[in-house]
Structures are given as structure tokens and as C-alpha cells.
Structure 1
Amino acid sequence: MMRLSNLLFRCITSGYYEEKLQSCVWSAAWLRQAEEEAAREHKITLYDLMQRAGKAAFDVFRREYPSSRHWLILCGSGNNGGDGFEVARLAADDKLRVTVLAVKGTKPLPPEASAAHAALLKRGGVKIHDAGQWKETELAEDVDLVVDGLLGTGITGAPRADYARLIDLANALPVPCVSIDIPSGLNAETGSVEGVCVRAEHTVTFIALKPGLITGQARNYTGTLHYDCLQLGEWMLEPKRQSQLFCRRIVSSHLKTIFAQTPSPCANKGSNGRLLLVGGDHNFGGAIIMAAEAALNTGVGLVRVVTRSAHIGPILSRCPEVMAYDSEECSLYDLIQWSTCVAVGPGVGQAEWGESIASRIIHDRKYFTEKPFLLDADALNLFAKMVSSGEAKGYGLLECKKQKTVITPHPGEAARLLQCTIEEVEKDRFQAAKKLADLYGCTVLLKGPGTVIYAAEDVDISVDALNTEHGILSSRCIVSDAGNNGMATGGFGDVLTGVISGFLAQKFSVWQATCGGCLAHSTAADLAAAAQGGVRGLRATSLFEHILTCVNPLTERQCVSLKTRRNIDDCDGRGEPQGSEKVSKVEKSVK
């Protein structure tokens, strides 16, 4: 089956600790300190850890490219270069032809990298070329794999000219390129790229995942992401280390846990939630229709829509379960009081109608703070205008802390809310989401590859059994690592609004509804792309059937049926499509 996302994930070894660690993310800076602490406590050297890393990387590269015979290994002047020297030594031991290009730094090699360099020289049979003196015309034509060991997790800006030259070489050669720990040029903390970056087909990272590997520009550069804890899994899961988590990562296999609780056997349509959706100006009727249908597929009991009168007929034709109201004739106050959740935004537009109805609800937010409230799309743009003009001061979102508000901006909307540029948002998506959460006292879902979800300090993130010692949602920062680039078309945001607000209306906690709704939405997109044979031409409306799959845990028999009907190679009982490649039992990646 074709790959649906550039970012796949595999644990190189499988077991209890790896299964727990695949959802844990620490900052790269903290991990560098943790390596030293781990070495002391385990009575090993940092060079011992480097040897483990080199072996893990070599094993993956050899397995993925068994027919390769001549490896070009690019080594930097830091510890990433040391990993490269280790890979070179192991490749030579395996009777591969090896060419090493090493960058000479202004300082001596770190001790462990120096030890790796010495071990390679002692072995013999491999010439280490000075990259600064080497000319591209000297490169042998039979090189069939490039190994990137240039820059590690400490890079914060654009690579220097000598590194940039080698990165350009790696990207230009007509052979596969693989990266050790992180593609050179990718910021390990943010996933941003300044200057050039290696485009790897496979990346092997060590000890734990870094934030920059799962959001931002990561999917453009990491290829398939492999992970090895270097035998430190149990140590990393100790409470002392868990308390230092940067964020948690959720994947499709977590859906079964998030939506394990089923509705009460004695439930009725009223107890299953009452959702009010507001939107659909002229020319944007489809948005509110998609949001309503998506909400219905989450299991919400009742859905009412306030929209333009022209859209009522199409809504009822498409979704007869929905109750549709003409915005000019209904009592918005009464409908808000009736609801258990209010969502504003799909198709609301920025014209007079949308501005009037959205601003009215935002102004009145202080009167229904006990209800979950979701703002999306042009409702966010209108609110940004209110903030910048000072109109919103003293009203709604800014006045009501400890509220149940969710905002779901894309980077452009986030930039307007923060009064900054899109480039500033994308440079550090984690910081942008945190700033929004802190500024508005709400839960923020920042859309994009590796969606970042952040809860303000006064938002309750306790989610019953999910918030256990290794609870998958027990962090104020979550990255949803599912979905594909076929979602970059109109309507997907409207469907997301419907899914999240549907769960909010059913009285899922704000945190569970937002994180679980986002994950169900993106996994449904992966299922839909698998069903149609690829991401090209993926439509938002194709998600509806698959949302049902994602929110209902599957039996083994249903999995077989799903595989047969939708041409999915494998399914693990959680609505998660599998590819034909072998994937660890720890996590079967969506492809």
C-alpha cells in the first residue's frame, strides 16, 4: 500500500518500555543533559551510548538498503559526526565500501566523538577525507547510499557554509539519503528549517523523540522515523524523568483508549448532548453542512444549526436529523440556553452577517461560561479584529478565565490572533500555541502537520483513567501525529469543528474532546486515503464514514471486514490502516 504520510514511525525494538516511550517527547536540550546522567547512573561512558546509537542506526540502514555496496558517510565536527564514524566502522566490518567526508571544526572533537574517530582509524581500511579540501569530482560513481551524520540536535539556525555545501550534495545525489538522530538542518526543538536541510528517506533517533521530529517541517525531511531507546527505556520512564516531559504524542492506536467509554445503555437523545452550530453565510453553506454531519457521526444526540435561510433546504436534504434555523427568525439566546455546547465559525464569513452574529455570541460568552464553546475559521478572524481594535476588551474570552473554550486556528488565523506573522508562528509552533492558550485562557488546537494542542494553566486536563502515571493525555501539550497532505483542501477544518464540538456536547472533558476529536479526524483522513488508493483528490466529505470507524472500537471480525471492504492491508482493531511493510507491534504506523 502506498505511503499516506511522509512521517512514519517505528520502534526498532519492541517491549513494554518502548510502547510507553513512543508517546513521550522531551526537549532536545534536556535529553542532552539526560545522556550524561544516564551514563553516570548506569556506570557506562558516553562513548558506550554512542556505540549503541551507531549500531542501532547501522542496523536500520543495512536492513532498509540490503543491496547497497558503497556508503558515503558525512560526518560533522560534533557528536553526530561521532555517530557517523561508528556507522562507518560497522559498515566496513560488514565488508561495505565506505567513503567518509569529515568537517573539521574550529574546536577539537568532543571526547566520545574523538574515541569513535580513533576506533575507525585503528580499524583501518577506511580513508577519512577532509570535507573542506575534497572536491565533488572525486566522488566515485558507484556510491549508492548517503549517510547524514553532519549536524545533531543542537543546531538553532542556518547551517554554516561548509555544512550547507555537504547538505546540498546529499540532496543532489541520485541515491537515497538517511539521517542519524535528526536530518541535518532541522531544528530539533521546533521542527523549523532555516537555510538548507537534508531530505532523508529514513531517520534513526535515539533515547526519546524530540519535539522537532513530529511537527513543523519535519514531514518534509525525516522520511520514515525509527526510534531506539539505547537500553534506557526503564530509566526514562521513572517519575523523575517523566516529570520533565516537553509534550506527549498521540497516534491512531490511542483511539481505542480515548473512546473506550461507550454511551450509557439508558441514554436518550437529550442525555447524549445538544449541539448548537452557527455559520453558513451566502456562498459558504457547505461548511456548516459538513460540520453538522461530522458532529452527528460522533454520536451527539441532537444538532441544531443557525444559518442563512437559503441553506436550510440543503441541510435538511443532506442531514434530516439536523434541526435548522433561520438566523433572522430564531432566538439565539434560547438556542444557546438549550445547548450543551456552542460552536461558531464554519462558513460564517467576514461580511456583515457573519460579523454581527459571531460578535454577538462572543460578547455574550460571559453569560454561558459553563458551556463548552468552540471558535473556528472566520469567527477567529473576526475575534482577532475585535482584539486588535480593543472592542473585545472586557468581554467574553478575555474576561472569562477557567472557561471551556476551544479555538482551532490554522497558522494564518493564529498569526492574526497573536498580531504577528505566519513565519513567526511556524518558526515555533509550540510557543505560538502556548502564547495563544495563555493569552486567551483556553485550549488551542494549532492546525498543521503534527497538530499542536495546548491547554492554558487554568484548563482542567484530568481525564479519568487516561491521566494515569503514563497517561496518554497527561500533558498540557499534545501533538497529534496522524493525518496526511491530502487534507490540504477546503472543508477539512469544518469537519474538525463538527467532530470536536460533537464530543464537547456529549460532555467529554474539553481536553479529551479536543485531543480525541483531532486524532479521530486525522485518522479518518488516513483511512479515507487508504480506501481510495492515495491522498490526491481526498475530499472532506469522504471522512464521514471513517469517523464512525474511529470512534467505535473494532472487534477482530470487524477488522477483517474492514480490510476486505476497504482494501486495507491490515488493521489492529483500532480503525488504523496498516501498510505491507513490517512494523513493530509497539506501534503499527498509518501509511
Structure 2
Amino acid sequence: MPVTGLVDALLGTGTTGAPRGVYASLIREANASGLPIVAADLPSGLDADTGAVHDPCIRARVTVSLAFLKAGLTQYPGARAAGDVVVRYIGIPRTLPPGMKPAGTVLTEAALSELGADPGRRREPDGHKGTYGHVLLAAGSLPMSGAGLLAAKAALRAGCGLATWALPAALLPPLLGAVPELMLAPVADGGSGAWNPAAANEVLRLLEARDVLAVGPGLGRFPGEGAYLRALWEGAARPLVVDADALNILAASGFAAWPRREAATVLTPHPGEMARLTGLTTAEVQRDRLGVARGFAAEHGVTLVLKGARTIVAAPDGRVFVNVTGHPGMATGGTGDCLTGIIAGLLAQGLDAVQAAALGVYLHGRAGERAAALRANPASMLTGDILDAL
């Protein structure tokens, strides 16, 4: 009877490091066979905690994770080596023993509902624009005005009642009417189209009548940038979302010595920005995304959104959530600006930082999936397609 497939049950969750000796030889032979492989619990050679793939590692068609989903199966490159993942119960109790916490929670509609975030974004029948909050964005500069526009439009698409975009005054004329629903607040820039430290006071004045501040998309770098951002960090008594160049300014400004904010704070770095914030290399961040995100959020008292395939949301209390929505077509400029606007829009509606970040990444990914389905080829997707699919 011909062999039509292989079952990998060589190594389990307790192993560390690269397979050696006969195990390594068997893994290489299994991969070279060309037969479909079903891995029991996790592919041999895959780190169960981080998703790191050792050499060699089983390349499975399907992984049957026993009792609980292993964290390493949710993160790349481990997710690729695992193939399709299913969880099957084998008699082990489905509840963890007292004192034991899960490595993380996969974001599903049920998990979001348990978190107190409504994935359906239902509206009250007697609601009005004031019910759903007012977002203020400090974003954009002359060469990158589109980033601010995308973030502002995303905040509105996320359901906030009102949005105001504070922008360098030189940007105002060409943007008038670009999004009729959006209010524009020009900030003095001396005709340069760039930000300056004094602009922080204008932003804080505008924030007095708004519910949340998002800063960073298209901001650019400028003299006095550290003083500008620190003034917002310490002076904004409202929830704050920090993205893009504002994250790079944080990293360059001795952020570790800055005081913790009392109001909710969400940071949304991609792996390169996360590397600058932590002093690690991008490769080191990617090798342990869950651990790096969890540690940073706890150390600095922020909600951290570590973007990328399988975006991670880490809360300051140690909770971690993994988002599995999304599409490779979302690898295009502006999608991070869109996510910033979505999270800010949800914060304005009264969600707390973890709820807004978790629901935001989930909705962002779902919109990307819908947008990809409408394209003849998802490689042609633009961020505007994602906005239209929200």
C-alpha cells in the first residue's frame, strides 16, 4: 500500500533549540519526500512560544494543536511552517489551573465581545454626532499630507461623530473640501508646511474641546520635535494615539525618562519603529514579537500595537491579543495611518485603550479582506480601498 502522507510527532513543546542528530535527519527526509505532513501539536523544529523556525523544521500541510493553540503557531514564520492549524481537545481540562495565564488570546468576535468591544459597532437609535465623540489629529506635512488625510478619514469611517485635522497652515488651500465631513484647523507654520515646537500649544488648545488626540502620520521630522512631542505627551489630558514619525521622535528623545501618562496611551509601531523604541534590531523584535510587545507595554504603562502579519495588542497589565484578520494586499503605504485613525475613532466613542486597539486591528484586517476580494488582483490594493471597505 503506497504511503500518501506523513505524521510528524517527533518533538513537542518542551524542546528548545535546533533539532540534532537523528531528529534532524528525519525532519529533512520528511520535507524532501514531497508528501503532505500532518504535525501533532506543532511542527518539529518550531519554537512553541515565539514562532521561531529552527533549521531544520517540519513544513506541515496541517497542524493539529492539542488542547490549546500554541503561541508560536500564531506568529510568522512559525505560522507558515504550521500550514492550516486546527485545535482538538484530548481530555485535558479546557480551563487553566489557578495562577496560570495564557500566553495570549486570538481576537475573534467572541473574544472581542468578552472584552467589551462590539465588533458590530451597533448604534443607539437616539444617538447623534455628539454621542460618538470628536477626534483631533495632529498630522501631515508638505511632502506627506496624504498620511494625515487617510488617518482623518479612517477616524470618521470608524464611527466617531466628528473629526478635526490640525495641520500646518500651508497645507490648507489644496485640502479644502477633500473630505467634506472633516474639519480643518490650520496651525501657524511660517509658510513652511512643517511643524514647529510652538504648534504644540495650539494643538493642546484645540484638544480642550475634543475627546482624543492622534499624532504622527505624515508628521515629518523638524527642529524642536522632541519638545513638541513632550508637550503633547505631558499636556494632553485626553487619550493619545502615537504613530509613525511621532514614534521615531519618541525613540530619539529619551522617552524612557518621560513620565507615565495618566490618560490612555496607545503606541502603534511597525517592527522597525519598535526596534528604535527598544534599542533592539528589527530581527530581534521579530524573533519574539509576543515577548517584546508584552514587556514594553508593561514597562511603560502603554497599550502597544505591534503591527505586521498577526498584529499584536499588548496591554499594560500583561494581557496580549493576537489578530488573525488581514490580507497580504494590505502591504501598501498608508495602511498604518488608516489603523491610527480607526483606533482614535474608537477611543472617541468611549472604548478604553485595549478595547479600541483590539477592535481596531480586527476591523482593519477585516476591511482589508473585503477590499482584496473586490480587486482583480489584491496586489493592486490601495489604502483607500480599505477605507471604503470599513
TM-score by length of 1: 0.59
CA contact (8 A) 2:234 2:261 kept: no
CA pair 511-256 structure 1, distance change in 2 beyond 3 A: closer
How is 1:39-438 mapped onto 2 (pairs within 5 angstroms)? 70-71=2-3, 144-232=4-92, 235-237=93-95, 240=97, 244-251=101-108, 258-259=117-118, 262-328=122-188, 331-352=202-223, 356=225, 359-369=227-237, 371-387=238-254, 392=255, 398-438=258-298
1:545 and 2:388 matched: yes
1:518 and 2:361 matched: yes
SS at match of 2:347: helix
Q: Give the deviation of 1:402 after TM superposition.
A: 4.1
Tell me the C-alpha RMSD between the 2 structures: 2.5
Q: Give the deviation of 1:70 after TM superposition.
A: 3.1
* Distance in 2 between residues matched to 1:538 and 1:359, nearest whole Å: 37
CA contact (8 A) 1:482 1:526 kept: yes
Query: 2:327 is matched with which residue: 484, 490, 493?
Result: 484
> For residue 349 of structure 2, what is the aligned residue in structure 1?
506
**Which letter does structure 2 place at the counterpart of 1:382?**
I
Q: Give the deviation of 1:241 after TM superposition.
A: 5.4
SS at match of 1:178: strand
Q: Give the deviation of 1:218 after TM superposition.
A: 2.5
Identity of aligned residues (%): 35
CA contact (8 A) 1:255 1:520 kept: no
CA contact (8 A) 2:151 2:341 kept: yes
Q: Give the deviation of 1:242 after TM superposition.
A: 8.4
Q: Give the deviation of 1:415 after TM superposition.
A: 1.3
Q: Give the deviation of 1:492 after TM superposition.
A: 1.0
Q: Give the deviation of 1:426 after TM superposition.
A: 1.6
CA pair 307-145 structure 1, distance change in 2 beyond 3 A: same
**Which letter does structure 2 place at the counterpart of 1:385?**
A
Q: Give the deviation of 1:400 after TM superposition.
A: 2.5
SS at match of 2:16: coil
Say which is worse superposed, 215-224 or 335-344, in terms of deviation.
Answer: 215-224
> For residue 439 of structure 1, what is the aligned residue in structure 2?
299
Q: Give the deviation of 1:159 after TM superposition.
A: 2.0
Q: Give the deviation of 1:410 after TM superposition.
A: 1.2
- Deviation string 1:348-404 (CA, Å, 9 cap, x unpaired) is 12344xx63x741433422333x11011111101110002xxxx465xxx3135431
Query: 1:536 is matched with which residue: 361, 379, 382?
Result: 379
* Distance in 1 between residues matched to 2:68 and 2:46, nearest whole Å: 16
Q: How many residues align?
A: 376
**Which letter does structure 1 place at the counterpart of 2:212?**
C
CA contact (8 A) 2:154 2:338 kept: yes
CA contact (8 A) 1:156 1:187 kept: yes
Q: Structure 1: which 4+ aligned runs deviate by more than 6 Å?
A: none
* Distance in 2 between residues matched to 1:174 and 1:319, nearest whole Å: 54
> For residue 194 of structure 2, what is the aligned residue in structure 1?
none
- Deviation string 1:262-286 (CA, Å, 9 cap, x unpaired) is 3443333233211111121222122
> For residue 102 of structure 1, what is the aligned residue in structure 2?
none
CA contact (8 A) 2:53 2:77 kept: yes
* Distance in 2 between residues matched to 1:256 and 1:531, nearest whole Å: 28
What stretches of structure 1 of length at least 5 have no aligned partner? Answer: 1-68, 72-143, 458-474, 548-591
Work out which of the two has the higher radius of gyration on C-alpha atoms and give 1 or 2.
1
* Distance in 1 between residues matched to 2:328 and 2:12, nearest whole Å: 27
* Distance in 2 between residues matched to 1:493 and 1:521, nearest whole Å: 10
What stretches of structure 2 of length at least 5 have no aligned partner? Answer: 190-198
CA pair 210-442 structure 1, distance change in 2 beyond 3 A: same
CA contact (8 A) 1:147 1:177 kept: yes
Say which is worse superposed, 146-155 or 420-429, in terms of deviation.
Answer: 146-155
**Which letter does structure 1 place at the counterpart of 2:217?**
P
Say which is worse superposed, 146-155 or 219-228, in terms of deviation.
Answer: 146-155
CA contact (8 A) 2:268 2:305 kept: yes
CA pair 146-279 structure 1, distance change in 2 beyond 3 A: same
CA contact (8 A) 1:437 1:454 kept: yes
Q: Give the deviation of 1:213 after TM superposition.
A: 1.0
* Distance in 2 between residues matched to 1:544 and 1:431, nearest whole Å: 31
CA pair 202-322 structure 1, distance change in 2 beyond 3 A: same
SS at match of 1:271: helix
> For residue 195 of structure 2, what is the aligned residue in structure 1?
none
Q: Give the deviation of 1:408 after TM superposition.
A: 0.8
